[in-house]
Chains A and B, each alone.
Chain A
Amino acid sequence: MIYVISILLAGIGIYGLLTQKNLFKHLVSLTIIDTAVNLFIIALGYREGDAPIYTDRVMNFSLNFVDPLPQALVLTAIVIGVGVLALGASLLVRIKEKHSSLDLEEMKGVKE
């Protein structure tokens, strides 16, 4: 079920990238895609059972807990996403300064 949501989110993100004219919306769409992928990763790691914490039940070697590795991966991926977002936002500020608009059709001085 989560997978469907994840793919839906990714679809929204791609749709945003394809159809939106405002550059900021591109950045937001990229973040949506990043979120979708992160969601997908976490969903992959899910197992029926417990959270990945060592408790008594786990000590009986049931090994039936959620996979912790994807969660670690996602932490890193979220940070990277934040970094990209920050860089994108600062670039957008400068683009607005230089081209006086963030709208693709109204940007001045963009050579084709």
Chain B
Amino acid sequence: MISLLVAVPLLAAFVSLFWKKASDVLFSLVALFNVIVVLSKWFPGVVEIHAMGNWKPPFGINLVLDDASFYAALIVNLIFLMVSSLPVETKKGYETSLMLLLGATNGFVLTGDLFNSFVFMEIITITAVTTAAKRENFYNAYKYLILGGIAGSFYLLATIFAYGATGSLNMAHIAMVGLSGSSLLAVTMLYTIGLGVEAKLFPLNGWVPGVYGGNEVSPIVLGTAVSFAALYMLGRLFGTVFHGSGLNTLYVLSLVTILTGEMAALRESRLLRTFAYSSVAQAGVVAAMISKGTENALNLAYFHLTNDVIAKFVIFLVAGFLVYSYRDLNGVFRKHKLLGISFSMATFSLVGFPMFAGFQSKIRMIMEAFSTKDFLFPAVLLIATAIEVGYVIRWNVRLWFEEETFEERSKVPLTIGFFSFALAILLVVVFLQPDVFLEGTQKMAKALLDTESYVNGVFSAVKGGM
């Protein structure tokens, strides 16, 4: 059953190559199907696997569904469902690669085998580059390809070293056998760099503004779903497989990511790119929390990531629509009050003003950091937030209050307006009742750290279920 999440989108992608007219409908159907399949397995609690080709683990490749991968798969598929409901012009001609991306991201999240994750990561890179090239954004997409290719090579090297040290490619098996000494060092460092490119860590994140700022569909998909998958894998690898070693480097890199991302955002004068940098900084925040390694820290990291993903979806959706409908963005929200309100609410959630979800995650993260006597992270986070206030307020004021040059009002497609407002309301709801997400992320964090039950679950399931 789990493998359908990967197989069906791949199949549909191939079909859509021959049947181009139906690709849009196909995409929506596939996304809907995926969401239904995921929802039918609501928080399994135990580890479920699907052994490909019925080869028992640790031989062969198996897909693993536990609480953590369930949550990640849920978020990814829901986002793709929303993307598939967007108006046709947004994704015209790119549905095939989006479906491939959907399949690959699901695979990346669900896999229990290191080499399999490499393959899926490369597929993600290729399809993401394709998506990034929309609206003639070729040069930036090309740079992303090169960097992604190098990252893939590092990821492959790390996988091979792990194989060389333990004799297996299966995550559960490696977790059981355990690496040590210099091989552990080499593997964790190579994975940090390999994943770091996708997870936007400093200084490997040069590609982000070009790719996110290039068209209206790539940030909505790449900045939300793919980022979530990458940061999930970070937690999975460092939490479950490597039992929490190699985290110091991650911590330092992520702190620098936060500051450089925010400072670069401050000087940016184009809307999409500004929030691309903000994505970088938020990824840094999440990575810093992941690198703390405790259950509570992981819980809050993914809570913050969920809030960020929702807020970014709204921001990139509205920004993408506006940037390509108007030449001059001054005062544009006066023409589109609903979009403006949703956008403002999402940016305020990003900063962490009370009444929005971001406040909950930031406050709890600071509390958690202090309780572990970490005085540096809260200081960095608060400085970064102060900088964020600067550019968020500047953009909000410019988009609401500046004098506008006269331009015809473009009609807002219904889905864009609906999604942006609905998600903005969701942010307020999460503020009022954070347990809506916290319960889920709690289970996810627990599952990520619980190597034993992961290993037991993988090995005890003799025949993977269909």
Contact = CB atoms under 8 A, between A and B. Distances in A.
A41 B156 contact: yes
A95 interface: yes
A77 B156 CA distance: 9
B149 A34 contact: yes
The B interface, classified by DSSP as helix, strand, loop or mixed, is helix
Given A76-B119, A84-B122, A87-B129, A98 B136 contact: yes
A72 to B, nearest CB: 9
B115 interface: yes
Given A26-B146, A34-B149, A98-B138, A91 B129 contact: yes
Contacts, number: 70
Interface in A48-95: 69-70, 73, 76-77, 80, 83-84, 87-88, 91-92, 94-95
Contact of A40 (B115, B141, B145, B157): B157
A52 to B, nearest CB: 15
Contacts of B141: 91
Contacts of B130: 87
Interface in A5-34: 17, 23, 26-27, 30, 33-34
A17 B164 CA distance: 28
B138 A30 contact: no
Contact of A34 (B133, B142, B153, B160): B153
A95 B139 contact: yes
B133 A40 contact: no
Contact of B160 (A40, A91, A99): A40
B459 interface: no
A83 B119 CA distance: 12
Which of the four size classes fits the interface of chain A?
Answer: 20 to 34
A35 B150 CA distance: 12
B219 interface: no
B126 A84 contact: yes
A88 B156 contact: no
Judged by DSSP, the binding face of A is helix
A82 B276 CA distance: 30
Contacts of B122: 80, 83-84
Contacts of A87: 126, 129-130, 145
Given A37-B157, A44-B164, A84-B122, A91 B138 contact: yes
B10 to A, nearest CB: 14
Contacts of B146: 17, 26-27, 30, 88
B138 A83 contact: no
Interface string B138-164: 110110011001101100110010011
12 contacts: A37-B156, A40-B157, A41-B156, A41-B160, A83-B126, A84-B125, A88-B142, A91-B138, A94-B136, A94-B138, A95-B138, A98-B138
Interface of A: 17, 23, 26-27, 30, 33-34, 37, 40-41, 44, 69-70, 73, 76-77, 80, 83-84, 87-88, 91-92, 94-95, 98-99, 107, 110
